[in-house]
């Protein structure tokens, strides 16, 4: 846990960070966000004293570290930045080992830690251990940069737009990886970005800064439903709130029992189910969805069953998929429901457009 108390930075008479206080609990992923120049990076750099404080205190795991020598502090706080800062003449393994070496860990322990971190970031140790930074792609180098920051198992990780320079696809992959690493390691993280989508994907708590001041510090859902003021409301971008919210919601939160029938069902039985539920999933002998009657945006005239649609793997949803992705699949395939399948591919429920709308408006009313 880390507490920032009244952090203030004045440059040449101008207060660029103004009395910022916030507590990041153990295992919390705190994202600092705000317009360019609002003081995000300066706040972060005061935490590990890359920038000296004008006033304020930093309390790390209950200990006041404001006057601790900066080198000692930095061994307890990992730091990863956009430009990576890998040492060009050192191998990947040597780069990752920087802080453990400073801490005089035994060689074998360092080697084990390097292997463990490469595995955590899905880099094959045999292939990457002895490579030099110029032999890595941007995404690989960035993974090594984050692995290095984690190497000595710091109590807190600071990250300043670590994925800012990456293309959108690599960025997406690394965001998902970081979210997983955060879940697996339970690290306390403070992360700076100016990208709200990135913040919503990663944060357990978001701190919004404006002109050096902390305007709101809340869980993402609370920010969206209870913005502290017009600045926050505008900053979140009203028009996209509903969709952005869906990136934080999961299929398992929306899954409902699915009307289904197997191959033995008669057309009469199928019509009855469609009459009461609007659609029906046909499952094979193993319980895997293979067809759908109804639930298309278009219907054949006359027969309420409409035409049979073959269930395509692209339509299926899994419990851990985001609702944004599920919704996108419904829109793309022009269907009003997706089957939710378990690990064996068996029908375990469904998500529907109506369900999304219901839960969205419930959330907004809350
Ligand atoms: N070394 C410095 N000397 C003087 N002013 C500085 C210094 N570093 C930052 N500032 C000013 O402090 C303010 C906050 O800068 P900071 O880099 O913290 O903003 P930021 O929110 O991280 O911005 P961005 O999103 O553009 O990176 C800016 O107005 C900047 O010009």
Q: Per-residue pLDDT tens for 1-46?
A: 999 999 999 999 999 999 999 999 999 999 999 998 999 999 999 9
DSSP H/E element including 221: helix 220-225
Q: What spacing in Å lies between the alpha carbon of 53 and ligand 1's midpoint?
A: 14
Summarised one tens digit per residue, pLDDT across range 104-139 is 899 999 999 999 889 888 889 999 999 999 999 888
Q: Given the DSSP bridges, would you call strands 29-33 and 14-24 parallel, antiparallel or unpaired?
A: unpaired
Region 191-204 average pLDDT? 88
Q: What spacing in Å lies between the alpha carbon of 236 and ligand 1's midpoint?
A: 22
Beta bridge partners of 209: 214
- Candidate of 8, 14, 16, 208 to mutate for ligand 1, largest count of ligand atoms within 8 Å of Cβ: 16
- Candidate of 37, 81, 83, 162 to mutate for ligand 1, largest count of ligand atoms within 8 Å of Cβ: 37
Q: What spacing in Å lies between the alpha carbon of 210 and ligand 1's midpoint?
A: 12
Radius of gyration of the chain (CA): 25
Q: Are 138 and 169 in contact (CB under 8 A)?
A: no
- Candidate of 36, 38, 235 to mutate for ligand 1, largest count of ligand atoms within 8 Å of Cβ: 38
Give yes or no on whether 2-239 and 251-357 have one common fold: no
Q: Give the number of C-alpha atoms closer than 13 A to the C-alpha of residue 256, restricted to the C-beta side.
A: 13
Whole-Å CA distances, 256 to 249, 352, 361 = 15, 8, 17
Answer whether CATH 3.40.50.2300 is correct for domain 2-239. Answer: no
Q: How confident is the model at residue 331 (pLDDT cuts 50, 70, 90)?
A: confident
Q: What pLDDT is stored for residue 302 in this prediction?
A: 55
Q: Given the DSSP bridges, would you call strands 156-160 and 188-192 parallel, antiparallel or unpaired?
A: parallel
Q: What pLDDT is stored for residue 300 in this prediction?
A: 47
Q: What is the position in ligand 1's atom list of the atom closest to the CA of 160? A: 22
Whether the pLDDT of residue 175 is over 80: the answer is: yes
- Homologous superfamily (CATH) of 251-357 is CBS-domain (3.10.580.10)
Contacts 24+ apart (CB under 8 A), 238-242: 242/360
Name which residue sits closest to atom 16 of ligand 1, judged by CA: 39
Those residues whose C-beta lies under 8 Å from the C-beta of residue 120, and which sit 6 or more positions away, are: 147, 150, 181, 184, 185
Q: What is the DSSP string of 46-70?
A: HHTTSS--SEEEEEETTEE-TTS-H
Q: Is the pTM of this model over 0.95?
A: no
pLDDT, greater one: 63 or 155? 63
CA 189 to chain CA mean position, Å: 12
Q: Where are the domains of the chain?
A: 2-239, 251-357
Q: What pLDDT is stored for residue 296 in this prediction?
A: 62
Whole-Å CA distances, 348 to 264, 306, 331, 351 = 19, 24, 21, 10
Residues contacting ligand 1 via CB (< 6 Å):
11, 16, 34, 36-42, 194
């Amino acid at each position: 846990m880390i507490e920032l108390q009244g952090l203030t930075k004045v440059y040449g008479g101008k207060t660029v960070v103004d009395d910022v206080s916030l507590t990041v609990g153990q295992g919390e992923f705190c994202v600092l966000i705000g317009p360019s120049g609002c003081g995000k990076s300066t706040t972060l750099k005061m935490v590990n004293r890359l920038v000296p404080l004008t006033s304020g205190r930093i309390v790390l795991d209950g200990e006041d570290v404001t006057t601790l020598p900066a080198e000692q502090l930095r061994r307890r706080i990992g730091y990863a930045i956009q430009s990576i800062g890998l040492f060009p003449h050192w191998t990947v393994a040597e780069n990752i080992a920087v802080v453990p070496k400073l801490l005089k860990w035994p060689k074998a322990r360092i080697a084990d830690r390097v292997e463990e971190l490469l595995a955590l970031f899905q880099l094959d140790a045999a292939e990457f251990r002895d490579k030099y930074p110029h032999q890595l792609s941007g995404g690989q180098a960035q993974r090594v940069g984050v692995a290095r920051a984690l190497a000595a198992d710091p109590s807190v990780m600071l990250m300043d737009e670590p994925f800012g320079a990456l293309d959108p696809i690599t960025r997406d992959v690394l965001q998902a990886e970081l979210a997983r690493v955060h879940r697996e390691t339970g690290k306390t993280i403070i992360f700076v970005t100016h990208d709200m989508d990135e913040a919503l994907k990663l944060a357990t708590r978001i701190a919004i800064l404006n002109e050096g001041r902390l305007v709101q510090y809340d869980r993402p859902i609370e920010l969206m439903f209870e913005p502290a003021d017009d600045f926050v409301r505008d900053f979140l971008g009203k028009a996209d709130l509903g969709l952005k919210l869906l990136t934080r919601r999961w299929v398992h939160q929306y899954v409902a029992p699915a009307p289904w029938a197997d191959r033995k069902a008669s057309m009469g039985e199928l019509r009855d189910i469609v009459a009461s539920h609007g659609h029906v999933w046909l499952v094979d002998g193993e319980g895997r969805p293979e067809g759908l009657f109804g639930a298309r945006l278009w219907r054949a005239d006359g027969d309420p069953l409409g035409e049979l649609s073959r269930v395509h793997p692209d339509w299926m949803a899994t419990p851990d998929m985001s609702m944004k992705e599920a919704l996108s699949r419904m829109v793309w395939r022009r269907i009003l429901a997706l089957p939710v399948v378990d690990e064996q591919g068996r029908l375990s429920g469904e998500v529907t457009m109506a369900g999304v709308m219901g839960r969205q408006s419930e959330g907004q009313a809350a």
